[in-house]
A and B are shown apart, each in its own frame.
Chain A
C-alpha cells in the first residue's frame, strides 16, 4: 500500500547507504510502518508461518544435503546414517520430513483463507496467481524430496507419477514414452532419475523463495485484504504492521510451532508410510501405492477418471483451475461472510477437499470409487458453475460502512479531530 516513508536513518552510515541502496528504508516502510487493516484475524497469520516454514525447510535441507548420497545404493543408508551417526541428524531429518507436512498444512489453510475472504479479487489477482504458482512449486518440490528417501513408497511414487506422462502416447504415439524416458534418463527409474530429482529438489526451494518475494511485493501494492473484504477507507482503519502484527503473527507462529514440535518429538512417523522404511526394490510393487497425505485429494481426482490421459488432465486441472478463480467468481463482494448462499457451497467445498483426501488413501474400488467420482465432480463444479452463477444470482448481505465500524460498531461518534501526534500520512 503506497504510503509516505517515515524512515529517518540516524547514523551517518545509514544516511550514506540510504542514498545508495535504501534497503533500510524498504524494510522500515514495508515491515515496520506498513499500514495494515486493524481487523485481521488469526487466519491471516499463516503467511508469516509459511515464510518461517520455508526457512526451516531450506535450513534443515541444506545441512541434510551435506550428508545425503543421491545414488540408489547409497540413498536409503545415508538417510539412516543421518538418523544414527550425524550429530542431531535425527532432529534435522525429522524436522525436514514433518516440516514438509506442516508447510502444506499452513499452505492449505492460507489458500482456503484466500478463497473464503475473496483475497483473489481485484486488485489482488496477480498476488493470488503468484500464490498458486508457489503451491505448484511446493507440490513439485515435496514430490521430489519424498523420492530422495528411496524407500519403497518413494520409488513407486516416482514410478507412478513419472509414468503419467506416458499417457501422452494417446495423443501422439510414442511421444509419452519418449518423454518419460527423457525424464528418467534411462529406460526405468534409476540412478540418473534419483540424481536429477536431488538436483531439482535443491533448486526449487530457491525458486519458491523468489516467487515468495514477488508474492509479498504484490501484496504490498494493494495492501492486505481483510475479513470484511471492504477497502481501507482511512488511517483509522489501519495499524502499523509493527508491533501490532509482528506480535500477533509471532504468537500464532508459536502455537503452530508447538503443534509442529508435538509431531516432531512424539510422533515423527505418524504422517509417513511404514513401507518407506523398506529400501526401494524395483522388482517388488507394494500392495497399495499411496502418496503423502497432502497429495491425497489430487490422487483421488486422478483415480476417479477411468481414462488415463483424462485422469492426468483432471489432476493438472484440479490445481490449474485455481489460476482462473479471480475471473470465475462473478460476485462484487469479496468476503464470503456477506454471501449467504455462496457460504454453503464454500463449506461443502472444504468438506469435499477433506473427503477426497480420505478417498485418495483408499483403494479405488466399490463405493470409494463412486464417492471419489461424486466429490471430484463437485470439486470442479464449485469452480466452473457455483462461482460464476452464484455470484450473479445471490443478493449479498449489507456490508459494514468501514473496517473500523465492523470492529467497533457504528455507535461511537466519530472523534472531531484526530490528535496531531497520531496523524499518519496515508495515501490510499
Chain B
C-alpha cells in the first residue's frame, strides 16, 4: 500500500515538476537579469527579454507585430527572404491582424513576377494576398554576389532555428560594437558580441529613426530589434496563440478528469476487504 502511495505521489510530483519546469523555462525570459552579466569576448552574451508571448497565457502584441513587420519590410527584406509566408498571413487571427484592406495594400506594394502568359512571356503585376512574400533575390547565387559572398538566410522560422530564439535575435541586432583591442574582423565582416565567433557578414543596418513608427513608440534600435524579434517569433510560430488557448482548455479538462478518475479508482479499490478474493 505504502509503495503504491509513494509511486502515485512520485508520478504526481514528476508531472508537477515537469509542468513547473516547462512553465519556468517559458517564464525565465520574464526575469531579466538586474545587472548584465560580466562581458566575456569569447562567449556570446544573450540576455533574456520580456516577451508578451511568454508563459502559458502569452499572446502576441498586435501593435508590436505590425511594427515588427514594418522593420522587416523596410530593412530586413532588402536581403532576407521569408518564403514560408504569404501576405494573407498578415491578416490572420493570432498574428499582426492587419485589416483586410491593409493586407491588400501591403501585398500590392510588392511587384511580383508572374507568367508565362499566353505569349510565353513572364510579366510583372502587383502582389495579391495569396502571394508568398516577394523574395529579394531570384536565386542564392545572386544573393551571394550582392552580399560579399555571404548568403542571407531565410527568416521564416529563424526564431526557432537559433538557440535563444527571439532573445538571440534581439541580442544580435543590438550587439554591434567596435571590435575590442587586438580583434581584427576579416575584410567585410563586422564585430557582433552576440554572434558565435563574433564575426558576422551582415552590416549593422539599424540606427535610430531609420524606420518610421506611427503609433508613438520611440524609433530606437532597441525597439526595432525587439519588435522585429517578436514579429519573427510570430512568423516561426503562427499558431502560438491558438496553441496556448487550446492548451488551457485541455489542461482544465484533463485535471478535472484525473480527479474524477482518482476518486473512481479509490471507490473501486475500496471493495477489496481483507484476505478474501475480491469481486468484480
> What is the interface of chain A, defined by CB distance below 8 A to chain B?
32-33, 38-39, 41-43, 77, 80, 83-84, 90-91, 94, 227, 235-236, 238-240, 242-244, 247-248, 250-252, 254-259, 261-270, 274-275, 277-278, 404, 407-408, 412, 414-415, 418-419, 421-424
Contact A266 B265 (CB under 8 A): no
> Within 8 Å CB of B236, what residues of A?
277
> Contact mask B241-266 → A, CB, 8 Å, 1/0?
01110110011001101100110110
Contact A261 B251 (CB under 8 A): yes
CB distance from B53 to the nearest CB of A (A): 12
Contact B261 A247 (CB under 8 A): yes
Cα–Cα distance between A408 and B272 once the two chains are bound (Å): 11
28 contacts between A and B (CB under 8 A): A38-B272, A38-B278, A42-B4, A80-B156, A84-B239, A91-B243, A239-B277, A242-B280, A247-B269, A254-B261, A255-B12, A258-B251, A259-B19, A261-B254, A262-B18, A263-B22, A265-B247, A266-B26, A267-B26, A269-B160, A274-B161, A274-B165, A277-B160, A277-B236, A278-B153, A278-B161, A414-B275, A422-B276
> Within 8 Å CB of A42, what residues of B?
4, 7-8, 10-11
A39: nearest chain-B partner, CB-CB: B4
CB distance from A265 to the nearest CB of B (A): 3
Cα–Cα distance between A348 and B154 once the two chains are bound (Å): 47
- Would you call the interface of chain A mostly helix, strand, loop, or mixed? helix
Question: Which one of B18, B84, B274 contacts A415 once the chains associate, using CB atoms below 8 Å?
Answer: B274
5 more A-B residue pairs beyond the given contacts A38-B272, A418-B276, with a C-beta to C-beta distance below 8 A: A84-B84, A254-B258, A259-B14, A259-B18, A270-B22
B235: nearest chain-A partner, CB-CB: A84
- Would you call the interface of chain B mostly helix, strand, loop, or mixed? helix
Contact A84 B277 (CB under 8 A): no
> Within 8 Å CB of A243, what residues of B?
268, 280
Contact A236 B22 (CB under 8 A): no
Contact A265 B244 (CB under 8 A): yes
Query: With an 8 A cutoff between CB atoms, is B15 at the interface?
Result: yes
Query: With an 8 A cutoff between CB atoms, is B35 at the interface?
Result: no
Contact A77 B254 (CB under 8 A): no
> Within 8 Å CB of B244, what residues of A?
265-266
> Within 8 Å CB of A94, what residues of B?
243
Contact A252 B11 (CB under 8 A): yes
CB distance from B78 to the nearest CB of A (A): 22
- Among B8, B89, B160, B276, max chain A CB count under 10 A is at B276
Query: With an 8 A cutoff between CB atoms, is B205 at the interface?
Result: no
Contact B84 A236 (CB under 8 A): no
> Within 8 Å CB of A259, what residues of B?
14-15, 18-19
Cα–Cα distance between A190 and B239 once the two chains are bound (Å): 31
Query: With an 8 A cutoff between CB atoms, is B109 at the interface?
Result: no
Cα–Cα distance between A19 and B65 once the two chains are bound (Å): 67
> Within 8 Å CB of A262, what residues of B?
15, 18-19, 22-23, 251
Cα–Cα distance between A33 and B3 once the two chains are bound (Å): 25
Query: With an 8 A cutoff between CB atoms, is B279 at the interface?
Result: yes
Question: Which one of A90, A240, A251, A268 contacts B258 once the chains associate, using CB atoms below 8 Å?
Answer: A251
Question: Which one of B26, B257, B277 contacts A254 once the chains associate, using CB atoms below 8 Å?
Answer: B257
Query: With an 8 A cutoff between CB atoms, is B163 at the interface?
Result: yes
Q: A277-B157, A407-B1 are in contact. Are A90 and B239 (CB under 8 A)?
A: yes
Contact A244 B269 (CB under 8 A): yes
Question: Which one of A90, A236, A277, A423 contacts B243 once the chains associate, using CB atoms below 8 Å?
Answer: A90
Contact A267 B22 (CB under 8 A): yes
Cα–Cα distance between A244 and B247 once the two chains are bound (Å): 31
B154: nearest chain-A partner, CB-CB: A279
Interface residues of B in 191-207 (CB under 8 A from A): none
> Within 8 Å CB of B272, what residues of A?
38, 239, 244
> Within 8 Å CB of B262, what residues of A?
251
Cα–Cα distance between A259 and B269 once the two chains are bound (Å): 25
Cα–Cα distance between A80 and B82 once the two chains are bound (Å): 13
> Nearest 6 pairs between A and B by C-beta?
A265-B247, A277-B161, A42-B7, A251-B261, A267-B22, A90-B239
> Within 8 Å CB of A408, what residues of B?
274-275
Contact A263 B18 (CB under 8 A): yes
Q: A261-B247, A267-B25, A277-B161 are in contact. Are A255 and B11 (CB under 8 A)?
A: yes
Query: With an 8 A cutoff between CB atoms, is B238 at the interface?
Result: yes
B55: nearest chain-A partner, CB-CB: A266
Contact A240 B280 (CB under 8 A): yes
CB distance from A239 to the nearest CB of B (A): 5
B242: nearest chain-A partner, CB-CB: A90
Q: A244-B269, A258-B254 are in contact. Are A43 and B162 (CB under 8 A)?
A: no
> Within 8 Å CB of A43, what residues of B?
7
Cα–Cα distance between A278 and B236 once the two chains are bound (Å): 12
Cα–Cα distance between A423 and B278 once the two chains are bound (Å): 9
> Within 8 Å CB of A235, what residues of B?
277
CB distance from A394 to the nearest CB of B (A): 21
CB distance from B54 to the nearest CB of A (A): 10
Cα–Cα distance between A236 and B11 once the two chains are bound (Å): 28
> Within 8 Å CB of A242, what residues of B?
280
> Contact mask B107-150 → A, CB, 8 Å, 1/0?
00000000000000000000000000000000000000000000
> Within 8 Å CB of B179, what residues of A?
none
Interface residues of B in 75-120 (CB under 8 A from A): 84, 89
Contact B7 A41 (CB under 8 A): yes
CB distance from A44 to the nearest CB of B (A): 9
CB distance from B219 to the nearest CB of A (A): 30
A84: nearest chain-B partner, CB-CB: B238
Query: With an 8 A cutoff between CB atoms, is B56 at the interface?
Result: yes
CB distance from A67 to the nearest CB of B (A): 15
Contact B268 A250 (CB under 8 A): no
Question: Which one of B56, B261, B274 contacts A250 once the chains associate, using CB atoms below 8 Å?
Answer: B261
Contact A424 B22 (CB under 8 A): no
